[in-house]
A and B are shown apart, each in its own frame.
Chain A
Amino acid sequence: MRNMESLVLGIESSCDDTAVAVVNAAGQVLTSVIATQTEIHAEYGGIYPEFASRAHVVAILPAIEQALSEANIAHGDLRAIGVTRGPGLIGSLLVGLHTAAGLGMGWGVPVIGINHLRGHLRSADLEQARVKYPAIILLVSGGHTFLAQMQDPGKITLLGSTRDDSVGEAYDKVGRMLGLGYPGGPVVDKMASQGSPTVAFPRPMLHDGLEFSFSGLKSAVSRYLAETEAPVLKDVAASFVEAIMDVLLTKCRRALLDWRSASLVVVGGVAASPQLRSQAAQLCREMDVELCLPPLRWSTDNAAMIALATWDYLHLEKYPRPVPELQLSISDY
């Protein structure tokens, strides 16, 4: 045993990337390895799960070896292995879960099945404790869109989630309608930054609580493109992004008004959006709360956030078994 402090090994394989990380109890990241498949997917226009699951099988053991080697530790240094048990794709999840279960048995290290969503919510505290509690947290990604209130790292209340499509899905499908590549987020944001928001797209559920809906916006873009002769695509993109931002920021403002908060945290892949980052900063100045934007590398799927969430589970003495649960909600451990 080389390290006096105990460490957690995190494993994440819920969607397209295979990720392994080692994190200590303070949230310091000794190493974070991500075998990404974005390049493979770019050729085909989406995340293809069977590619993902085969690639997980190929990538996972080398990624674990690399992580242990980079962190310069041995398995005897591990207090626990935390592995994503859901939500996610069953085939991809199973690769991580089975690997973790096998290693845990062989090494004599406990294995805990972690809720991927709790990982995302904790990602903002990786490397340093950035989140001022109580906090409002917006998770915006391909698979998920929701607002939650965090009284402390372990006490999470779901405030509202999407009733249909996620923000990331809206970006990807509108990106495809506009003839742009995958993933849709960065390319749509970039095109939007060159256009003007001249089209009045709907803001679904804008005045309606803290729930979200983006399906109607996607439909409106589709209709506009079908009905308009020679549409100015950059203006369509700008109008779409403006509608998205209007909805996201209105809901964040409402949540901050409803809940006394010290900070607003924005995580998930869409947190990379320059438009979202600047408008959230403006909102936080107006509301006099701190804006917490974790570094972008922690906003997309990674294993360090899973490892940090694992520490919460250990502190709370929650030990879900490492078996897949596809329909986990944020309120589940």
Chain B
Amino acid sequence: MDTFSVVSSGAADTSRLAATIAPILRFGDAVILTGSLAAGKTHFVKALANALGCTDLVTSPTFTIANFYRHGSGNLLHIDVYRLSGLDEFLDLGLDECFSESITVVEWGDMVAGEFADYLSVKFDFLERDENQRKVTFSFVGERWASEMALLKNKLSGF
């Protein structure tokens, strides 16, 4: 149960995937996204924001590093650490002050995952047979997700 994968047949499928996960997320949660250039990480966050009811336009945070989108009483905090060279730089940004009131999603997030006591990891891999398909692998760290993984896997059984 620690890790499971589903196959997304394309962008629309990835959107459905994000919409399925969205209702489980609450403030204080962290989602770490990994996968190479153009794997669909930003697309996933756009769909997640949409499913959460954020009306702001979600764009790539590669240059801005962190984008805040209003969500209920808090934020969807969309971070991209692609251009950061180390954990120190991430910590110096002081974004951790916002984690408790945000759903935090981090692209290229491997480097900073250790900063979160609990997180859901979502990894996007290209598949050879179809340029639009992605293998999406879910894993987690911490108590928060230990109890949710069975539910999540069940909800994603249609993929």
Q: In the complex, which residues of chain B have a beta carbon less than 8 angstroms from the beta carbon of A90? A: 66, 93-95
A115 at the interface (CB under 8 A from B): no
B9 at the interface (CB under 8 A from A): no
Which residues 205-241 in A have Cβ within 8 Å of B in the complex? 215, 218-219, 222-223, 226-227
B2 at the interface (CB under 8 A from A): no
In the bound complex, CA of A47 to CA of B42 (Å): 20
Q: In the complex, which residues of chain B have a beta carbon less than 8 angstroms from the beta carbon of A50? A: 84, 88-89, 92-93
Please determine whether B46 and A164 come into contact, CB atoms closer than 8 angstroms. Answer: yes
Q: In the complex, which residues of chain A have a beta carbon less than 8 angstroms from the beta carbon of B92? A: 50, 53, 91
Please determine whether B93 and A327 come into contact, CB atoms closer than 8 angstroms. Answer: no
Q: In the complex, which residues of chain A have a beta carbon less than 8 angstroms from the beta carbon of B85? A: 44, 48
Which residues 1-48 in B have Cβ within 8 Å of A in the complex? 36-38, 42-43, 46
Q: In the complex, which residues of chain B have a beta carbon less than 8 angstroms from the beta carbon of A163? A: 46, 57, 59
- Known contacts A48-B84, A143-B64; decide if A222 and B94 are in contact (CB<8 Å): no
In the bound complex, CA of A49 to CA of B94 (Å): 12
Pick the contact of A326 from B42, B63, B66, B83 — CB < 8 Å?
B66
The segment from A118-126, A148-156, A165-173 found at the interface with B is A165-173
Please determine whether B83 and A91 come into contact, CB atoms closer than 8 angstroms. Answer: no
Q: In the complex, which residues of chain A have a beta carbon less than 8 angstroms from the beta carbon of B46? A: 163-164
Please determine whether B131 and A166 come into contact, CB atoms closer than 8 angstroms. Answer: no
Please determine whether A169 and B62 come into contact, CB atoms closer than 8 angstroms. Answer: yes
Please determine whether A91 and B93 come into contact, CB atoms closer than 8 angstroms. Answer: yes
Please determine whether B37 and A218 come into contact, CB atoms closer than 8 angstroms. Answer: yes
B95 to chain A, nearest CB (A): 8
- Other contacts beyond A215-B60, A222-B37: 11, CB < 8 A: A48-B89, A49-B83, A49-B89, A50-B84, A91-B94, A163-B46, A165-B59, A168-B63, A222-B38, A223-B38, A326-B66
17 pairs across A/B with beta carbons < 8 Å? A46-B83, A48-B85, A50-B89, A87-B64, A89-B65, A90-B95, A91-B94, A143-B64, A161-B57, A161-B59, A162-B59, A164-B46, A164-B60, A166-B60, A177-B37, A215-B60, A327-B68
